[in-house]
Amino acid sequence: MKTPIQLQQQNLAELGSRIPVPIYNRMDNKIGIVHVGVGGFHRAHQAYYLHQLRQLGEASNWGICGIGLREADTKLSDILKKQDHLYTLMIKHPDGNIETEVIGSIVDFEMGTTNPEKVIARIANADTKIVSLTITEGGYNFNPTTGKFNFDNPDIQHELRHPQDPKTIYGFLTEALKTRRDSGLPAFTVMSCDNIEHNGDMARKMLLTFAEAQNPDLAKWIAQEVCFPNSMVDRITPVTAKTDIEILAQNYGVADAWPVTCEPFIQWVVEDKFSNGRPAFEKVGVQFVPDVGPYEKMKLRLLNAGHSVLGILGAIHGHLTINACVEDEVFANYLRAFLDEEATPVLGDIEGINLKNYKNSLLERFANPNIKDSVGRICSESSAKLPKFLIPTIHENLAIGRSIKFATLVLAAWCYYSDKETDQNGQALKIIDAMHDELHHTASETKNNPLAFIKHESLFGNLAKSNNFIRIYTSMLEELYKNNKIDKMMQDMI
Ligand code: CS2
């Protein structure tokens, strides 16, 4: 066993005999991209693409400065600072092989909670050409049913009154854009990389709504000067486990406090609309297209919704990982039935893509036994995910009188899960959701009122008013509350 070497810039040469390390000079890197919301996904995706580009000797003006806007980001910020912003990517293949590589494209990190002025200055700096976002589906501050900006959010209220003390992405972007406009600098591109349909359009609409309320003149300038490309991003990135840190230290001799693990598959499809230039990402496999809409819809309604189907049903059955779900024939067949009979018919035309192959590849990716993507990660923040991934499929099928049963069982199971907070064997479930308390409260009224849970219009729209939906949903709830086993119910439907 090798004694692990601390991951740090000064040790890169030595580490290079153990695993691949950056061969470019990180120190001469200008910061061209400010990325808000650095989690595992950003580090496995955009930062990895950029790292590959730099390995080719390109993109020296496009270093990344990470930004954290939540207290919870402090841990990663501290770890990255100690490691000179280096981290290891562990790409886990289905055959057990792990490709490891030190990634060097992130070169700085700032916390908006403690250093808001520094963050504003960094975004307003002339070198910054792109501000990219992975702030999660819930971070856009809109009501998923009405699509309206949520002005009730106290942080939004605060920054409207105190533009110089921003809290959310909207406050930081407007303050930095104002500084740029006032000093005659060009705007930057706002590039959303979240799993939201028309993510760029959504970011634009929300930012303009906020800016109009804060400074209508500035809003006009933003509308003219800032581009918001839509994009589809894809790479399954499970939560890093303690064992990953141990494997890296023991088998590769690298001491990294927070490596990132991911699957081999990677995809990024982006609209080529940038206000102030961009790296030549096409050289490392990024697809630039005029309209990303069909790709986004396909990915959200098949992959992400597929995850949620396995996640919620798997959670109450007692499966712990996504691969355990698809190894279970009932779950695999059920997923296939949902994808074929409900998700696909309302996708519309996806030109140039063979959907059958795409769905086959999803099942293979979900089955990767080596990444052990937890059902808990998939179910976390379901209140932000299901209205974007799954519920639109129900609405669209209802409108044309097609099957809704496979998706509806997921909503009934979500109610049961939110009420009981245990699986069907009585094991406690750890539920992570910004709406946890409200969901638990309404779900626990189900016994007296079977429609209590789906009354949240902001999540379910008007499903509670559709007789067709109510009939299927309530009979499923009844079975679940009689403690009929979920796998038996699924088996009977396929
Ligand atoms: C997952 C996504 O969070 C979820 O529910 O579906 O994180 C998914 O793994 C990624 O979007 C894959 O690109």
Paired with 462 in beta bridges are none
In CATH terms, 293-493 corresponds, of 1.10.760.10, 1.10.286.10, 1.10.1060.10, 1.10.1040.10, to 1.10.1040.10
In sequence order, what DSSP letters do the residues of 186-250 get, joined into one string?
PP-EEEE-SSSTTHHHHHHHHHHHHHHHH-HHHHHHHHHH-----EEEE---PPPPHHHHHHHHH
d(CA 395, CA 400): 9
Residue type, 149: F
235 lines ligand 1 (CB under 6 A): yes
Sign, Cα dihedral of 250, 254, 260, 263: negative
Token pair belonging to 397: 């099928």
Whole-number Å distance, alpha carbon 331 to ligand 1 midpoint, is 18
Nearest CA residue ID for atom 4, ligand 1: 378
As annotated, the residues of the chain forming the CATH 1.10.1040.10 domain(s) are: 293-493
Domain 5-289 in CATH 3.30.1330.10: no
Number of Cβ within 10 Å of residue 51's Cβ equals: 22
Distance in Å, CA 236 to ligand 1 centroid: 6
CA 439 remoteness from chain centre: 21
Give residue 1's pLDDT: 66
**Ligand 1 pocket, residue 385 CB under 6 Å:** yes
What local confidence, expressed as pLDDT, does residue 402 receive?
Answer: 96
* Residue matched to tokens 């009730």: 152
Which residue is closest in CA terms to ligand 1's atom 11? 234
Residues of the chain with CATH 3.40.50.720: 5-289
Atom 8 of ligand 1 has which residue's CA nearest to it?
Answer: 236
Q: How far is CA 109 from the centre of its chain?
A: 20
- Distance between CA atoms of residues 407 and 393, nearest Å: 8
Tens of pLDDT along the chain (494 residues) come to 679 999 999 999 999 999 999 999 998 789 999 999 999 999 999 999 999 999 999 999 999 999 999 999 999 999 999 999 999 999 999 999 999 999 999 999 999 999 999 999 999 999 999 999 999 988 999 887 788 999 999 999 999 999 999 999 999 999 999 999 999 999 999 999 999 989 999 999 999 999 999 999 999 999 999 999 999 999 999 999 999 999 999 999 999 999 999 999 999 999 999 999 999 999 999 999 999 999 999 999 999 999 999 999 999 999 999 999 999 999 999 999 999 999 999 998 777 789 999 999 999 999 999 999 999 999 999 999 999 999 999 999 999 999 999 999 999 999 999 999 999 999 999 999 999 999 999 999 998 999 999 998 989 999 999 999 999 999 999 999 998 999 999 999 99
Q: What tokens were used for 196?
A: 């939201």
- Give the whole-angstrom CA distance, residue 406 versus residue 396: 14
Going by alpha carbons, the residue nearest to atom 6 of ligand 1 is 304
The helix, strand and coil proportions of the chain, stated in percent and rounded to the nearest 5, come to: 50, 15, 35
Going from the Cα of 362 to the center of ligand 1, the distance in angstroms, rounded, reads: 12
Nearest CA to ligand 1 atom 13: 234
**In ligand 1, which atom is closest to the CA atom of 311?**
5
Tokens in use for 465?
Answer: 């008013």
Give the number of other CB atoms < 10 A from CB of residue 345: 14
pLDDT at 369: 96
Is the distance from the beta carbon of residue 236 to the nearest atom of ligand 1 less than 6 Å?
yes
Is the C-alpha dihedral spanning 197, 202, 204, 205 positive or negative? positive
Query: CB atoms < 10 A from the CB of 26, how many?
Result: 18
**pTM (2 d.p.):** 0.95
CA distances for 229 relative to 49, 287, 431, angstroms = 17, 13, 33
Residue 275 beta carbon below 6 angstroms from any ligand 1 atom: no
Using the CB atoms, write b or e for 209-240: b if 16+ within 10 Å: bbbbebbeebbebbeeebbbbbbbbbbbbbeb
